Structure 1
Amino acid sequence: MSANELISGDFTERNEPFDLFADWLKEAEASEVNDPNAVALATVDEDGLPNVRMVLLKGFDQDGFVFYTNFESQKGHEILGQKKAAMCFHWKTLRRQVRLRGPVEIVSDEEADAYYKTRARGSRIGAWASKQSRPLESRFALEKAVAEYTARYAVGEIPRPAHWSGFRIRPVSIEFWKDQKFRLHDRVEFRRSSTDGDWTKVRMYP
């Protein structure tokens, strides 16, 4: 039996999605060359048109999946407007995928502050300098803004901007997909009717 099989076993027999995701993410961290926590984030605008982009998962537990962003960005406006989102992880070397979706909540100020302090100083400056998703007249304008905030916060702590924080997706469905021969893949979806409900497991046709 391979190390991969020792960790995951037959995932279709598992009855709890968060522990299974933890196992799969651990394996991805060992196998993926870049950013095993990279995930496609899908949102919907006020006209019902979808948007998708890559973000980095910064934490997860039984309460949900957390990422951070500028609330004044396009994705920030869309999530604040619709209060729902979806994610898709794809680990190419493992030939696996995880999809999830559900309502979204804002993380606490304490949680956002704690994560913000772990970021590189340049990244904290960038959170102030970048008017994310809005037109940029030139690269020089961005570099000037970075220089201005670098000077402003030359000494001491850099406070977290009020417009920069985290979102938590509280999934009502999580689907695990594993590649198999002849495209006869394994798919298992965990579903629940509410964010604090019990999970039901359904095996899906590939």
Structure 2
Amino acid sequence: MDQNEHQADAHRRPKKLIFAPGDIAQTSTEPTPEPQPQAAIDQTAEALRTSTSTPNSTTETEVLSNAARAHQFGANPPLTVSQIHGTNPLHQFNTWFHDPRLPASSAPETCTLSTASLPSGRVSARVVYLKELDERGWVVYSNWGSREGKGGQVFGLSGSDTLGAMPEPDSEPTVTSEIGSGNKWGALTFSWATVERQVRIEGLLEPLSREESEMYWRTRERGSRIGGWASWQSKVLWSAEPAQLEANQRRKSVAKLQGAFDGDSLVPADIDLTDVEDGRALLELKVKEMEERFAGVEDIPLPPFWGGVRLVPESVEFWQGRRSRLHDRFRYFSTAMSTSTPQTIPQSSTSPWIILAITSGAFAALNGVFAKLTTDNHTTAFAQSLAHLFGLDSSPVIEMLTRGACLGLNVLCNVIMWALFTRALTAGPSTVKVSITNTASNFLATALFGMVVFQEAVGRLWWLGAAMMGAGCILVGMREGA
């Protein structure tokens, strides 16, 4: 790729708000503070947390006189609408993420990724690190190759035990309910206790392209790349029955760790005979194999089963603690995603915007009918029929009142038509689809009212127009979908 192509490609990429914060940003060099001794525990509090204690009059009196025992939030002023971004939750998240009260040493990029299996619906969660945030969503990286872990939940992996390669973006159906299929719905939760804030993101998980994953992969140190190849995500390395685990059983990994710091004398000579193998040796053997495989290779390649996924948000909720548990909570919701993406829960076959658009077209046709009745000769005959029905003499006054009523109904239908059409535009996926549905409804309803009210015949030209409108709806719908 030459320089011009590289610059053109850079302009097409969304702006990255956050990129590898824990890998590139300098961490704090201050030493970890020494743990402080715990304060003396009040006798009443100790009694309350002891399972064997029995409440008595003394403890009950103490509890009732100190009702506000739980932590009270008060680090922030009240959160109002004027203090948050009006339309873009990603920029609002970026503002909170870079709050100076969140030091890098607290790892604010730590978050919980939640996914669910189909068709059981079993939910699992794990702590991961946010590595990127751009104008499309939140990005995390991991090993997705195991059927037992999140890879099987998100991508399905039906028919195989491992993921041979990360799927390309838009290469698979979004959500199905078949056994073994993937469930792309996921959630991320950020909890920042020091500033009493939390952010919850729910949406669809989409795989990154291999080029995008390689960009972050190159920022990882060599040991992390070896670990990416060696780790068997969610695979069981070792299992044991309770009888095998004795109360004072030494663990080889702990003994070696102690020996590394305090001297080899802490490692017993018979460690291989007395310790129970816990699977760590198997993992270390795998690491050694990968080190030998890539010996002399400076740029270790990206594993096919390893990469990034982007959580494209459907909803983003910002929570901030307040006193007395009256917390502030603001939620951004994407109506476009909720109407344009498949759902895991069965939805109504008819969307609300379709009903609004069809009804709006019908009232537009009624508007035309009453407009015509204000000047048509049919109104004269209709006024005479009304006068005869109520035993009144036919007079111009009756006809004028009838035409006035038709004019009022004309105005009323016009108001209702525009109100429904405006609501359809707000709820619909696009202006084009709403306009097409509204026009088609108006076209058909006008012909129906013409036949019923004015005894008008539908000729060949009408059928030709109906066919052309149908073809136009199909073509425009296909173009809009593309």
Same fold (TM over 0.5): yes
CA shift, 1:9, in A, is 9.5
Alignment of 1:48-197 (within 5 A): 48-73=121-146, 74-80=149-155, 81-137=182-238, 138-155=279-296, 156-195=298-337
CA distance in 2, matches of 1:67, 1:35: 14
Q: Check whether the contact 2:144–2:305 (CA below 8 A) recurs between aligned residues.
A: yes
CA shift, 1:193, in A, is 1.9
1:41 and 2:113 equivalent? Answer: yes
Aligned AA for 1:82? N
Q: Check whether the contact 1:72–1:163 (CA below 8 A) recurs between aligned residues.
A: yes
Three-state SS of the structure 2 residue aligned to 1:122 is helix
Q: Check whether the contact 1:70–1:163 (CA below 8 A) recurs between aligned residues.
A: yes
Higher mean C-alpha deviation, range 187-196 or range 72-81: 187-196
> Which structure 1 segments of 5+ residues have no match?
198-206
Pair 32,123 (structure 1): closer, same or farther in 2 beyond 3 Å: closer
What is the Cα-based RMSD across aligned positions, in Å? 2.2
Q: TM-score, normalised by structure 1?
A: 0.87
CA shift, 1:31, in A, is 3.3
Larger radius of gyration: 2
CA distance in 1, matches of 2:80, 2:93: 10
Three-state SS of the structure 2 residue aligned to 1:51 is strand
Tell me which of 73, 91, 104 is aligned to 1:19.
91
Aligned AA for 1:175? E
How many residues are paired up? 192
Q: Check whether the contact 2:200–2:318 (CA below 8 A) recurs between aligned residues.
A: yes
1:202 aligned residue: none
Q: In proportion to residue count, which structure has more helix?
A: 2
CA shift, 1:11, in A, is 5.4
Q: Check whether the contact 2:102–2:195 (CA below 8 A) recurs between aligned residues.
A: no
CA distance in 2, matches of 1:85, 1:94: 25
* Greater RCO structure (CA 8 Å; 6+ sep): 1
CA distance in 2, matches of 1:32, 1:179: 22
Aligned AA for 2:98? K
Three-state SS of the structure 1 residue aligned to 2:126 is strand
Pair 69,133 (structure 1): closer, same or farther in 2 beyond 3 Å: same
Aligned AA for 1:85? G
Three-state SS of the structure 2 residue aligned to 1:93 is helix
Q: In proportion to residue count, which structure has more strand?
A: 1
Pair 52,84 (structure 1): closer, same or farther in 2 beyond 3 Å: same
Pair 18,9 (structure 1): closer, same or farther in 2 beyond 3 Å: farther
Q: Check whether the contact 2:205–2:311 (CA below 8 A) recurs between aligned residues.
A: yes
Q: Check whether the contact 1:29–1:36 (CA below 8 A) recurs between aligned residues.
A: no
CA distance in 2, matches of 1:51, 1:12: 33
Aligned AA for 1:91? W
CA distance in 2, matches of 1:56, 1:99: 15
CA distance in 2, matches of 1:181, 1:102: 30
**1:146-176 alpha-carbon deviations (Å, 9 max, x no partner):** 0110111122211111000110000010000
Q: Check whether the contact 2:101–2:195 (CA below 8 A) recurs between aligned residues.
A: no
- Identity between Structure 1 and Structure 2 (%): 38
Q: Check whether the contact 2:143–2:306 (CA below 8 A) recurs between aligned residues.
A: yes
Aligned AA for 1:189? R
Q: TM-score, normalised by structure 2?
A: 0.38
**1:96-141 alpha-carbon deviations (Å, 9 max, x no partner):** 0000110111011111011011111111001111111011131101
Q: Check whether the contact 2:78–2:328 (CA below 8 A) recurs between aligned residues.
A: no
Three-state SS of the structure 2 residue aligned to 1:146 is helix
CA shift, 1:12, in A, is 2.8
CA distance in 2, matches of 1:154, 1:173: 46
